[in-house]
Structure 1
Amino acid sequence: MSAPAPQKASVQSEQMSGGRVISYALGDVANNVAFMMTSLFLMAYLTEIAGISAGVAGTIYGITKIWAGVSDLVAGNTVGRKQTRFGRLRPWVMFGSLPLAIALVGLFSVPAGLSGTAAVVWVFLFDAFFQLAYSFVNIPYGSLSAAMTQDPIDRSRLSGARAIASSLTGVILAIVLSPQFKDTTADGIRLKFTITTIVLALVAITLYYLCFRGTKEVIPPSAERPTLATTFKMVGKNSPLLVLCLAAIFTLTGMFTLMAVQMYYARYVVGGASFFIFMMIASTLGTVLVAGFAPAITRKMGKRNGYLLVALITMVAYAILALAPTGQIKIWALVGFFVYGMGSGGTNAMIFSMQADTVDYGEWKTNVRSEGGAYSILSFSRKVGQGIGGFVAGGILSAFAYVPKAPTQSAEALQGIRLSAGWIPAALSLVAALIIFFYPLKAEKHKEIISELTERRAKRATGALVAGRPLVTLNEQYGAGATYVGTKVAERLGVSYVGTRFSSQDLEAAEMAATARAEQDSNVIRFLHSFARTETDSDRANAEDNALDAELVSQNISEVAAMAAGGGVITGRDATVILGDTEGALHVRLVGPEDFRAQQAAQEFNISREVAAERLAREDRMRTEMSERLMSWDPSDPTRYDLIVDTGKVSLDGAVDQIVAAYRAKYPKK
């Protein structure tokens, strides 16, 4: 039986401390002080405080966001390559925080005496510097969780804590900054905003330091990272990834067109800058709600159809925002942003879930597995969408005669704000949905690809292996007698016996540990799961998880192939599927009625009948799930075996006789 799942659970025997989880989450608070300030408030700052026109502000926003995508690619292929006494990733988080803070303060501190052109140059240079600095902090931070633990429960806690930090940071920033947009013509408003930014930057540096001090890297890199050249080669042959990236560009363009004008929408459509706070809360609650339903949507509808559903929800949200009455019934704006939170949160979850599948497709097509490469290309596409969104928003505001710093806006300008917040994003979301409709990697095809990849890996490991000595693989239902039968068959055939990698006690301990943690943190874990996947950058850790699974599968295949070279009787370890085509191998499955197997296990292992029944249910389920998830085969499939023996009807010694006779009948010359 394949070992990966229990191995992951046992890498770290004790639950990660709450302090370490909090320290990691503090890094995301710092990240979002920078990211959300620029995403939510930069456009409004440039037009309302710095005095730059909406069209120029949108152009700067667009160019620098696309530059941010390039920075991500560069950072992704730079950070983490060198081991230091502080680790591979943590030094970037710590020492990169100062340049990032300086860039943030400079970006929101345009001097009042600068001329129009000089102000534009100032903003452009500081924004470009900011995006570069942010990439070299955020990319290593996003990879840090995978280097901190391999335990799935601890990773869930890290992901959930990070997502909570992200959501709360957005609300806190809205509370701190949105009141400063009530009267942007007030004396000293520039200085006030600069001072506020300095305070926030110092807070961010402090939080980055606490993250650096409170976290620890314990897991080495899970896979060799591809070069940019390898990445682009893989992408060119990965049609599902290309379709997904194109859809992501339109999706993010729509989302960031809304985000760029969100403050204008609060001020002029809803009726007050302070209402921005409630819009953020409503959006966050919508995202939290949909996070709990995303897995169920995927299971019932498939990923493509699930994407189409959440895209429809997002379009409904945009329509509500476009039609909400001006300054009257504010509940419509709250409803619109709540539904938007559901749609955007669901869309992000679907995008990164589909991206994981495109990694498998890329390996199937090119024989190169590149989780990090697929992630970096998708991240770049999203940044392009963010940049275009800001550019579109600024262009529309300028075209519809938006007047910066004005206490009220004309009907034409209000129409431009509504277009940017509603109808344009809705149209872009519709285009993204139409693109995804042609997404070629459906569930059935993906299952076929996984099966073929498993066979390829097995063939690469076994090659032209021909067992020179007798080779038998055994797969059993719990309690069917594999240990006794396997040992006796090995003696009769003159070869060694290899048992399962994990005993019943190992599996029981793994499940008990997971259950204990889940019970200990039951309410907290469920709460964390409700927030999971709300912050898209955290999904870089998913690429690390996928790489780890693939690496563990390859390791198991190689080990089984090495065992088979000298002959033997191998129990479990997915040897049946790995050695399925090996010349000289006989594949056997031992089965039996549950009552019989429970009674036989009780006698064999000197345990009570009740304990044996519990182990039977656990092992049959866990071992089957491991095989299906990691090796994509069903151990109960009778076509995989040369012989199936029911030890409830045949004695164990009789089973031994049958297996030996079957082997000698199949290979009479051995």
Structure 2
Amino acid sequence: MPTAFDSAPTPEGTPLRVMSGACGPRRLSLGHGLGYGAGDFGCNLYWQTISLFLYFYCTDVAGIAPALAGFSFAIASVYDAIADPVTGAIIDRFRLRGGRYRSLMRFGAIPLALSFAIMFYVPPASGVALVIYATSFHILVRSFYTLVNLPDLAMTASMTSDYAECSTLVSVRIVFGSVAGISVALLVPKTISALTGKVTQPHFMAVALLGLLSTIMILLCVGNTRESAEGVAEAANLAASGRSIVPAVARDFARFWSMLRVTGPLLRVLGSIVTAAIALTMFSTLARNAIAAAGYLGFWINSNPSMATTRLDRVGGRGGGELCH
């Protein structure tokens, strides 16, 4: 039975195909598309939980002063901004038998779930020790998240070099990610409420269950996606060249700031992120309930993904073919 992945024609009228092998080119199947979407679903369960609930967990549950909680969050975010391009340059040079992207996702899935759960555990500490604990595990979670999420995002170009199929995969990823965000906003508060009074640390148990679900989804992605031989050869060439990752990272930062100066949609996306963060704090004050405010705001944001993606889709439609190569 034909699917959206193997029946859609290219502009030239030929079937969409990927990954040449000994038996000839192979089409992307529906299983490949759903498997790829499962990976983004799992990653967004983590990211949306951090975005919507972590700050308020630190202040309302762990008892960290708001200023110190914000400072801790800022340290982890700055670390993340530096670690992402460095990790990406390292991943580009990885050569692993199971594929450089899928192997890293498989390796990082369980450590990410464990560190994520521990981040929401209230230790027998207070003051500076508690802030150090929260900051350290926040950084650890972001490290493992980068190790899992960057390969997942980069896998689009490795699964297919066809622009139409690449666009379909990106659409599937956005849908799965939006569903994950809505699920977090609606279900995490309900799960915490249901566990309150039954376990000592309901937040820890709730995110532990969330981490288990995320791990399953990420491993489903690993098991139902494939990487092209061209990607493996590219990694081998980069590793054999012996070139330092420092110039590559410097170029990535330079390109980002160049894009930021001239790309209106990117500025709007960044602005929406800042606006959401400010609105979340305001909603919390008005509602006098941080968890409920995060849930309502998260539901609203994830129910309106077009506010950040519509313009980007238009830009991509004018000539974003390079994104898939």
Both structures adopt the same fold (TM-score exceeding 0.5): yes
Matches within 5 A, 1:38-49: 38-49=50-61
Out of 266, 270, 285, the residue aligned to residue 252 of structure 1 is 270
Structure 2 match to 1:283: 301
Out of 49, 53, 63, the residue aligned to residue 65 of structure 2 is 53
Distance 1:104 1:34 in 2: 8
Matches within 5 A, 1:466-505: none
SS at match of 2:250: helix
Structure 2 match to 1:586: none
After TM superposition, the score normalised by the length of structure 2 is 0.77
Distance 2:284 2:160 in 1: 45
Distance verdict in 2 for CA 1:146–1:63, change over 3 Å: same
Out of 151, 162, 180, the residue aligned to residue 173 of structure 2 is 162
Among all aligned residue pairs of Structure 1 and Structure 2, give the percentage whose two residues are the same amino acid. 21
Shift of 1:259: 2.8
Q: Is the 8 A contact 2:16 2:27 kept in 1?
A: no
Distance 2:302 2:210 in 1: 22
Matched, 1:216 2:216: no
CA RMSD between the two structures? 3.7
What amino acid sits opposite 1:213 in the alignment? G
Structure 2 match to 1:78: 90
Distance verdict in 2 for CA 1:179–1:265, change over 3 Å: farther
Shift of 1:144: 0.8
Distance verdict in 2 for CA 1:56–1:8, change over 3 Å: farther
Q: Is the 8 A contact 2:116 2:141 kept in 1?
A: yes
Shift of 1:245: 8.3
What amino acid sits opposite 2:93 in the alignment? R
Distance 1:33 1:195 in 2: 15
Structure 2 match to 1:629: none
Shift of 1:151: 2.8
SS at match of 1:126: helix
Structure 1 match to 2:5: none
Matched, 1:148 2:166: no
Distance 2:164 2:30 in 1: 13
Shift of 1:115: 1.4
SS at match of 1:109: coil
Structure 2 match to 1:178: 189
What amino acid sits opposite 1:197 in the alignment? V
SS at match of 1:110: coil
Q: Is the 8 A contact 2:43 2:214 kept in 1?
A: yes
Q: Is the 8 A contact 1:101 1:201 kept in 2?
A: yes
Shift of 1:131: 1.2
Matched, 1:33 2:51: no
Shift of 1:170: 0.7
In terms of fraction of residues, the more helix-rich structure is 2
Distance 2:16 2:37 in 1: 24
Out of 136, 140, 149, the residue aligned to residue 147 of structure 2 is 136
Structure 2 match to 1:194: 204
Distance verdict in 2 for CA 1:178–1:347, change over 3 Å: farther
What amino acid sits opposite 2:83 in the alignment? S
Distance 1:238 1:135 in 2: 18
Shift of 1:260: 6.3
Structure 1 match to 2:132: 121
What amino acid sits opposite 1:202 in the alignment? L
Q: Larger relative contact order (C-alpha < 8 A, sep ≥ 6)?
A: 2
SS at match of 2:91: coil
Q: For residues 245-301 of structure 1, what are the alpha-carbon distances to aligned partners after superposition, in whole Å with 9 as ceiling and x for unaligned?
A: 899679636624533652x544442576546545434333332xx4xxxxxxxxxxx
Distance 1:191 1:238 in 2: 41
Out of 101, 109, 112, the residue aligned to residue 121 of structure 2 is 109
Distance verdict in 2 for CA 1:250–1:197, change over 3 Å: same
SS at match of 2:95: coil
What amino acid sits opposite 2:213 in the alignment? V
Shift of 1:200: 0.9
Distance verdict in 2 for CA 1:200–1:50, change over 3 Å: same
Distance verdict in 2 for CA 1:101–1:5, change over 3 Å: same
Distance verdict in 2 for CA 1:245–1:232, change over 3 Å: farther
Distance verdict in 2 for CA 1:182–1:15, change over 3 Å: same
Distance verdict in 2 for CA 1:250–1:125, change over 3 Å: farther
Distance 2:35 2:26 in 1: 18
Distance verdict in 2 for CA 1:119–1:188, change over 3 Å: farther
Distance verdict in 2 for CA 1:266–1:190, change over 3 Å: farther
Distance verdict in 2 for CA 1:85–1:45, change over 3 Å: same
Q: Is the 8 A contact 1:110 1:122 kept in 2?
A: no
After TM superposition, the score normalised by the length of structure 1 is 0.40
Matches within 5 A, 1:304-383: 342=307, 344-346=308-310
SS at match of 1:150: coil
- Whichever of the two has the greater Rg, that structure is 1
Q: Is the 8 A contact 1:80 1:140 kept in 2?
A: no
Distance 1:28 1:229 in 2: 30
Shift of 1:156: 2.5
Distance 2:140 2:82 in 1: 13
Q: Is the 8 A contact 2:89 2:249 kept in 1?
A: no
Q: Is the 8 A contact 1:148 1:216 kept in 2?
A: yes
Shift of 1:543: 5.3
Q: Is the 8 A contact 2:260 2:266 kept in 1?
A: no
Structure 1 match to 2:110: 98
Q: Is the 8 A contact 1:31 1:138 kept in 2?
A: yes
Q: Is the 8 A contact 2:42 2:217 kept in 1?
A: yes
Q: For residues 553-578 of structure 1, what are the alpha-carbon distances to aligned partners after superposition, in whole Å with 9 as ceiling and x for unaligned?
A: xxxxxxxxxxxxxxxxxxxxxxxxxx
SS at match of 1:114: coil
Q: Is the 8 A contact 2:185 2:299 kept in 1?
A: no
Shift of 1:22: 0.9
Distance 1:53 1:8 in 2: 61
Q: When the two structures are aligned, how many residues end up with a matched partner? A: 300
Q: Is the 8 A contact 1:22 1:161 kept in 2?
A: yes
Distance 1:279 1:235 in 2: 31
Distance 1:236 1:14 in 2: 37
Q: Is the 8 A contact 2:53 2:294 kept in 1?
A: no
Matched, 1:241 2:259: yes
